[in-house]
Amino acid sequence: MSKIVTRIPPSPTGHLHIGTARTALFNYLFARHNGGSVVFRSEDTDRTRSKKEFEDEIIADLSWLGLSWDSFSRQSERTDRYRELLEKVVQEGKAYVSTEPKKDDPSVSIEVVRLRNPGTSVVFTDLVRGEITFDTAELGDFVIARSMTDALYHFAVVVDDMDAEVSHIIRGEDHISNTPRQILIQEALGAERPAYVHLPLILDEKRAKLSKRHGATSVMEYRDEGILPEALVNFFALLGWNPGDDREDFSLSQLVEVFSLDGIQKSGAVWNREKLLSVNQRWMRKLSDDAFITRGDLVANNQERLRKAVPLLRERARTFAEAREMLSGELSCLFTEPAVDRVRLLAKEPPERPGMTILALESLCEPLKALPEDVSPEMVKEALMPFADAEELKGKGGRGAVLWPLRFALSGQERSPDPFTLISILGSFETISRIRKAIAILRK
């Protein structure tokens, strides 16, 4: 195989779309797998909508995903080259300047550059879909520039690909219809035809084209939600590509090792948010406790308790946004003493056993005093359950009549981790302090 050159050509007219990011990833994987190079091209010829801040954001998002490239260019800085080649094809009679009415104001005449279309059939081989044939006669002599100094998209990208010696054009299947025009321009310029690979579109769960109304569609939104780049890359790679085995977890370097165009599928790739969250949770669980805190941007007023809470977060949270929400919600009791009220403390006390809740909480203080500060939930449970099952505490409420007030005294919440986990994180000293305050409320 001759030298492989692929391209990543985003248009800086908005945020980096997940479809564009998936296409960029496939271009990167194919080039790196084959020891080739990647060209980054900012297609900023739309002067009205293109913005430098979008370009910067796209570059930052692709870099965040771990992608890199070997050269960088902007179409807005290549207008002299486009003019040079427009003049060449006009001089050679392969294109011509046409004076015609302006579309939005027929009273005004403008000059455009049209390609002389031979009206032949164009046949090209798509490395995923096989041979594709287009009858170009219906295209007529199509416009390739608004003027000699304003080349249109099709002409500009063909020139860019030719100058960068792009060997493989890997893009979405919605670009298939662009291919015949671009091949005719290549032939007019005498450019070598690259290989074409058209990727399946990303669809929603109803198999319609994914759009904004179906949720987040930009990389930035998933990054801000707390999706790991490793997870997003892993998920992107399996949208329309199959490794040929049952593996589901791939790092970027592992993908580079195994990627092949043979694994690209023809059918649309369905975007499944629940699957993405599952993939992300698996990658979150691979992180060390310190990395989990750092990469999740997790903060609390007690770093030791935050570190002890990581196993809980790792078990329950699917994104770092969920982890942060848990810290400010059901786990806030680990960092701020909760407000406890008498009514809910007594919620599980059997009517025929008044005073049982106070007795239960008092009985748990003694075994808690014997526990070390650094103790596992399993050790706490082993120490406390005999007291929860003690004969004098048995009643219609069962264990719940003992464990509910304990958990509520510690958390102040209807929903929280089990009391054994809370005690292991809070430590025996803080636990006993909160229990005694609950007892004082009950005795008022």
Range(s) of the domain holding residue 18:
1-70+200-286
Say yes or no: 240 and 301 in one domain: no
Say yes or no: 411 and 380 in one domain: yes
Say yes or no: 293 and 280 in one domain: no
Residue 374, pLDDT above cutoff 90: no
- 82 in a structural domain: no
Say yes or no: 360 and 215 in one domain: no
Quote the pLDDT of residue 104: 87
What are the strands, taking DSSP E only, across 75-138? 95-102, 105-115, 121-126, 130-135
What domain count does the chain have?
3
Residue 213, pLDDT above cutoff 90: no
- Is the pTM here over 0.85, yes or no? yes
Say yes or no: 268 and 412 in one domain: no
For residues 397-430, one letter each, b for 16 or more C-beta atoms within 10 angstroms of the residue's C-beta and e for the rest, the string is beeebbbbbbbbbbbbbeebbebbbbbbbbbbeb
Which residue is listed with tokens 């790196």? 32
Kindly state the average pLDDT of the residues 44-67. Answer: 95
- 190 in a structural domain: no
Cα separation, 403 vs 385, whole angstroms:
9
Helices (H), 128-207: 153-163, 179-189
Say yes or no: 237 and 302 in one domain: no
Say yes or no: 368 and 282 in one domain: no
- Domain CATH number, residue 416: 1.10.10.350
pLDDT tens digits, residue range 89-138? 999 999 999 999 988 898 999 999 999 999 999 999 999 999 999 999 99
Residue 339, pLDDT above cutoff 80: yes
93-107, 262-276, 368-382, 392-406: range with lowest mean pLDDT: 392-406
Cα separation, 318 vs 280, whole angstroms:
6
Say yes or no: 49 and 11 in one domain: yes
Spatial CA neighbour of 82 closest among 45, 39, 38: 45
**Distance of alpha carbon 1 from its chain centroid, rounded?**
33
What are the strands, taking DSSP E only, across 307-396? none
- 382 in a structural domain: yes
pLDDT tens digits, residue range 231-256? 999 999 999 999 988 999 999 999 99
- 182 in a structural domain: no
Say yes or no: 427 and 375 in one domain: yes
- 371 in a structural domain: yes
